[in-house]
Amino acid sequence: MPLWRIFFTGTMDSNKPNILIIDDEPSICWALSELAKSMGFEAETASDASDGMSKLADGPTDVVVLDIQLPGFSGLDVLPKIKSDYPDVPVVVITAFGTMETAITAIQRGAFEYLLKPVDMEVLKTVLSAAVEHRRRSAELSAVAAEPVSDSAMVGRCRAMQEIFKQAAIVSATGMPVLIQGETGTGKELLARAIHRYSTRSDGPFVAVNCSLLSGELVGSELFGHEKGAFTGADRARDGKVASADGGTLLLDEVGDLSAEAQARLLRFLDDGEFYRVGSSQPMRADVRILASTNRPLRSAALSGQFRRDLFFRISGVVLELPTLSRRGDDIDLLIDHFLAVCGAAGVTEDVRKILNAYAFPGNVRELRNIITAAAAMASGRSIAPEHLPEEILHPIVADQEISLDKLAQGLLNEVLAGDVKKGYEELMARWEKPILSAAMERFSGNQAKIAAGLEMHRSTLRKKLREYGLIEGKSDM
């Protein structure tokens, strides 16, 4: 037997890595056990945290797959105990109820990986292989020491947001600059605040500066402060945003809007940590972590010369891309419930849920929050009904806000009905149906039951259409 095998398993009784699955769902235990065995591993299961700790004590265990929702102690409760007693054993956390808090807490408490149920088996194979290799090398996992702080400001269960939460958990423990990209209203500042809150600088200040407002004299004064009499109106000395953020985090909000002068001043500070107040020749220093946000494709702007390349690469150590609300599937219902709780509203009718799920939300999460807040005020303690929603939500218009849906349909109809009426009708329907069904597949993350319910279409009919348009695999029955 190779020498590494002794250190890998802690015993010479078995040549196979042993996977311990702690989950109270027998079907999940069986499925994951079969997967582990198909990879050449041994597999054991436990139905709760106590049983799991007992089997860990019996050993040897090379990787733990741990569910969060367990009877008695939760997975998050037992995770620190596992990492304390068995620091070399990678723990893969899985859950059907992912939030930013659980993602960050899991990784800060030492999780090797964090996956959302239903688990993609191909992804899990890759993760288990990496965990086994990690264990083989006997490398300790780096666990974040900071205690998790409850944060309900950002919610999301879609895979895109779970990935954002996981990445935020990792970068929060570092001092790296982070560039957060996303459309207006996607929650860029909320994510920046969460990264600061879970960082080693959490005791320091979090200071945000709106870069789109910095121009002329304001550039130096707002960022770096000024001395008394430095310019007209400067009746006293004042610290700038950089000095105010000393020991903490500085968020450059909408950094893509910085003027060329502001970019140059900021780059000089980032190079050596020194800056000058306006009207002073005395250098000052500040220790700040830089986070930046933008709704522009900043890399393209840098490559095309519209933004300084050297500054772009200084602020984009890690790039996090927040998805639009239209790409977040079932998160719309989750966010509706979240904002209802925030404003203390009684609830919403099912009609309202359908209307909101069908709406495109050009203003993203911020727009949804504003809609719920305003509608709750209009409802005056009652459940929010369609009549409490703004007109543009009830009757949205398309494209350039000028062409109505009826006019668009009429234009297409005239275009395709030059010949055979039946053929033209079928062509028109194909033009409409494929993009609509494609958008529905993205909105509901491929959940055909929800798509069929939303469109009031029989599931077998929906499947036929999806196959016909190549949106799912399989031959068309039509």
The structural domains of the chain, with segments of one domain joined by +, span 3-136, 174-321, 327-394, 405-468
Return the minimum-mean-pLDDT range out of 96-105, 141-150, 221-230, 431-440: 141-150
Q: Residue 124 is which amino acid? A: L
Using pLDDT thresholds of 50, 70 and 90, give the confidence band for residue 425. low
Using pLDDT thresholds of 50, 70 and 90, give the confidence band for residue 139. very low
Q: Answer whether residue 211 shows pLDDT above 70.
A: yes
Q: Residue 76 is which amino acid? A: L
Asked whether the whole model's pTM tops 0.85, one would answer no
CATH says 327-394 is which class? mainly alpha
Average pLDDT for residues 301-307, to the nearest whole number?
90
CATH says 405-468 is which class? mainly alpha
Residues 123/56/49/152 CA torsion (nearest 10 deg): -50
How much helix, strand and coil, in percent to the nearest 5, is found in the chain?
50, 10, 40
Q: 48-65 burial by CB neighbour count: b if 16+ within 10 A, else e?
A: bbebbbebbeeebbbbbb
What span, in angstroms and rounded, lies between the C-alpha atoms of 94 and 422? 52
User: Where do we find the tokens 């037997």?
Assistant: 1
DSSP state of 278: B
Two domains, one topology: 3-136 and 174-321: yes
Q: CA angle at residue 360 from 375 to 165, to 5 degrees?
A: 90
Q: Answer whether residue 282 shows pLDDT above 70.
A: yes
Name beta bridge partners: 22.
Answer: 46, 66
What local confidence, expressed as pLDDT, does residue 408 receive? Answer: 52
Using pLDDT thresholds of 50, 70 and 90, give the confidence band for residue 87. confident
Helices (H), 183-252: 188-197, 217-224, 241-244
Q: CA angle at residue 325 from 399 to 431, to 5 degrees?
A: 40
Give me the chain's average pLDDT, please. Answer: 82
Average pLDDT for residues 394-409, to the nearest whole number?
53
Q: Answer whether residue 343 shows pLDDT above 60.
A: yes
Pairing of strands 18-22, 274-275: unpaired
What span, in angstroms and rounded, lies between the C-alpha atoms of 30 and 24? 11
Q: Where are any strands of DSSP class E within 311-465?
A: 318-321
Using pLDDT thresholds of 50, 70 and 90, give the confidence band for residue 372. very high
Q: Answer whether residue 477 shows pLDDT above 80.
A: no
Pick the CATH number of 3-136 from 3.30.110.40, 3.40.50.10860, 3.40.50.2000, 3.40.50.2300: 3.40.50.2300
Pick the CATH number of 174-321 from 3.40.50.300, 3.30.360.10, 3.40.720.10, 3.40.50.2000: 3.40.50.300
Q: Answer whether residue 420 shows pLDDT above 70.
A: no
Burial (CB count <10 Å: 0-12, 13-18, 19+), residue 81: middle
SS3 272: helix
Q: How far, CA to CA in Å, does 415 sit from each of 5, 412, 419, 428, 473?
A: 71, 5, 10, 9, 31
Token pair, residue 358, equals 């069908």
What span, in angstroms and rounded, lies between the C-alpha atoms of 103 and 20? 21
Whether residue 336 contacts residue 348, with contact meaning beta carbons closer than 8 Å, is answered with yes
Q: What are the backbone angles phi and psi of residue 384, rounded to the nearest 5°?
A: -70, 125
